[in-house]
C-alpha cells in the first residue's frame, strides 16, 4: 500500500471544500498530479497544492492507496467523501461531511468530526476517536435513505439526529448522545454505551437501539416487553426490552407485525 501525506500549510480564510481528497480520486496519481486537484473556497476554485503540501505518490489502485491528512483541517469539509476502498487517516479534527456517502474502505479520524459525518454511508468503516457532531450516519437532507451498511465507531460523544432514516449497518457510540436516535429508521442497529437524553426511536419502523446508560425521557410509543439477556460487544447483561414505535406503521412478516426494539441495560 502506497501512502500520500497531505499537510495543511496555508489554512483557508473561510472554509475549504475538499471532496477530491479520497483514495478514489488520488489512486494512480503522483504527488504533483494530486497537488493540481481542485478544491473550493466559497465561490473560488483553486488547487489542493495551494493549501496543502503533498508528499508521496498514490498506489495504482484505490485499494492500494492510503491518505494521511496532517495539520489543522478544522475548516475542511468533505474529507473522504464517497470513498470506496483504501485507507484514510485524519490526524486532527475535521469539519462536516467526513466520509459522507462512503461505500467502502477504512477512515480513521483521530480528533473530532463535525456534523453530517458518514451521511448515507453504504459500506466500509468509520472510526472517530474524538466526538462526532449531529446527523452521524443520517440521510442527506430530504432523502429517506440514511446509512444502509458499514460500521461507525465513535469513541467520544455524538450529537443529535444520529442514524436518522437508517436502513442498515451499525453505529456504536462509547460516550453520550444528544436527542433523536434513529428517527424514521427502517433497519440497522445503534449501540450507545453512555447516557441518552430523549426521543429515541421516534417514528421508527424497524431497527434496534441498545442503551447502556440512562434514558432521560422515554418515548411514549415504546411498550415494555419484559427483560432479556443480551451479549453486546462481548458484554453479557440483562436488558429491559421495549417494542415500538407503536404509533408508526410497521411491516409484517409471516402475518406478524415486526416492531422496532429498544433495549436498556438494567
Partner 1 sequence: MTKTITDVICPFCGTLCDDIEVVVSDDGKQLLEVYNACVIGSEKFLHSQAKDRVTKPRMRQDDGTWKDVSYDEAADYTAQMLAKAKKPLMYGWSSTNCEAQSVGNEIAEISRACCDNTAAVCHGTTLIAVQDIGLPTCTLGEVKNRADRIIFWGCNPAHAHPRHMSRYSIFPRGFFTGKGQMSRKMIVIDPRVTDTAKMADVHLQIEQGKDYELLNALRVAFKGEWLPDVVAGIPKEKIREAADMMKSGRFGIIFFGMGVTQSLSKNHNIDIAIAVTKDLNEYTKFSIMPMRGHYNVTGSGEVFAWQFGFPYSIDLTRGFARYNPGDTSSIDLLVRGEVDAMFTIGSDPGAHFPISAVKPIANMPSVCIDPHLTPTSGVSKLHVPVAFNGVETGGNCYRMDNVPIDCRKVVEPPAGMLTDEQFLVMVRDRLKKLKGAA
**Minimum distance from residue 246 beta carbon to partner 1 (Å):** 4
117 and 132 Cβ atoms separated by less than 8 Å: yes
Cell numbers standing for residue 244 = 415500538
For residue 44, state whether it binds partner 1 (rule: CB under 8 A). yes
Cell numbers standing for residue 250 = 410497521
For residue 142, state whether it binds partner 1 (rule: CB under 8 A). yes
Residue 49, helix vs strand vs coil: helix
- Say how far apart CA 224 and CA 263 lie, in whole Å: 10
**Residue linked to cell 453520550:** 176
**Minimum distance from residue 83 beta carbon to partner 1 (Å):** 20
For residue 87, state whether it binds partner 1 (rule: CB under 8 A). no
Q: Which of 68, 127, 153, 246 binds partner 1 (CB under 8 A)?
A: 246
Our CB check for partner 1 shows the closer of 61 and 140 to be 140
Our CB check for partner 1 shows the closer of 151 and 184 to be 184
For residue 184, state whether it binds partner 1 (rule: CB under 8 A). yes
Q: Which of 52, 135, 212, 263 binds partner 1 (CB under 8 A)?
A: 135
- Say how far apart CA 178 and CA 156 lie, in whole Å: 12
Region binding partner 1 by CB under 8 A among candidate stretches 2-10, 27-35, 138-146, 188-196: 138-146
Our CB check for partner 1 shows the closer of 70 and 75 to be 75
Which of 31, 25, 133 shows the shortest CA–CA distance to 79? 25
The answer for 242, left when phi > 0, alpha when psi is -120 to 50, beta otherwise, is beta
Cell numbers standing for residue 260 = 422496532
- Assess whether the previous peptide bond of 162 is cis (omega < 30° from 0): no
**Residue linked to cell 424514521:** 184
Binding mask 111-130 for partner 1 (x = CB under 8 A): ----xx--------------
DSSP structure class, residue 231: E
Our CB check for partner 1 shows the closer of 218 and 232 to be 218
For residue 180, state whether it binds partner 1 (rule: CB under 8 A). yes
For residue 248, state whether it binds partner 1 (rule: CB under 8 A). yes
First to last CA, the chain: 46
Region binding partner 1 by CB under 8 A among candidate stretches 2-10, 23-31, 175-183, 229-237: 175-183
- Say how far apart CA 28 and CA 58 lie, in whole Å: 6
**Minimum distance from residue 111 beta carbon to partner 1 (Å):** 17
The alpha carbon of 151 is separated from its chain's Cα centroid by a whole number of angstroms, namely 8
Our CB check for partner 1 shows the closer of 27 and 48 to be 48
**Minimum distance from residue 116 beta carbon to partner 1 (Å):** 7
- Say how far apart CA 48 and CA 41 lie, in whole Å: 11
For residue 193, state whether it binds partner 1 (rule: CB under 8 A). no
Interacting residue ranges for partner 1, rule: CB under 8 A: 13-15, 17, 40-44, 77, 96-97, 115-116, 134-135, 140-142, 144, 179-180, 183-184, 198-199, 202-203, 217-221, 223, 245-248
Amino acid at each position: 500500500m502506497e501512502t500520500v501525506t497531505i499537510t495543511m500549510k496555508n489554512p483557508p480564510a473561510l472554509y475549504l471544500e475538499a471532496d477530491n481528497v479520497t483514495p478514489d480520486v488520488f489512486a494512480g496519481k503522483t504527488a504533483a498530479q494530486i497537488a493540481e486537484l481542485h478544491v473550493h473556497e466559497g465561490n473560488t476554485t483553486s488547487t489542493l497544492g495551494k493549501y496543502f503540501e503533498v508528499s508521496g505518490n498514490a498506489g495504482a489502485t484505490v485499494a492500494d492507496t492510503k491518505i494521511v491528512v496532517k495539520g489543522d483541517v478544522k475548516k475542511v469539509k468533505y474529507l473522504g467523501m464517497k470513498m470506496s476502498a483504501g485507507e484514510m487517516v485524519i490526524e486532527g479534527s475535521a469539519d462536516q461531511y467526513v466520509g459522507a456517502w462512503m461505500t467502502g474502505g477504512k477512515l480513521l479520524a483521530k480528533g473530532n468530526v463535525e456534523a453530517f459525518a458518514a451521511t448515507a454511508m453504504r459500506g466500509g468503516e468509520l472510526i472517530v476517536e474524538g466526538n462526532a457532531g449531529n446527523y452521524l450516519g443520517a440521510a442527506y437532507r430530504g432523502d429517506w435513505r440514511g446509512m444502509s451498511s458499514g460500521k461507525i465507531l465513535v469513541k467520544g460523544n455524538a450529537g443529535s439526529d444520529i442514524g436518522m432514516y437508517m436502513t442498515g449497518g451499525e453505529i456504536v457510540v462509547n460516550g453520550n448522545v444528544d436527542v433523536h436516535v434513529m428517527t424514521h429508521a427502517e433497519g440497522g442497529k445503534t449501540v450507545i454505551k453512555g447516557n441518552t437524553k430523549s426521543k429515541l426511536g421516534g417514528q421508527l419502523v424497524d431497527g434496534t437501539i441498545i442503551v447502556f446508560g440512562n434514558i432521560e425521557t422515554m418515548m411514549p410509543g415504546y411498550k415494555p416487553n419484559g427483560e432479556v439477556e443480551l451479549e453486546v460487544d462481548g458484554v453479557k447483561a440483562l436488558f429491559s426490552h421495549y417494542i415500538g414505535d407503536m404509533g408508526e406503521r410497521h411491516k409484517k412478516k409471516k402475518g406478524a407485525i415486526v416492531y422496532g426494539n429498544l433495549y436498556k441495560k438494567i
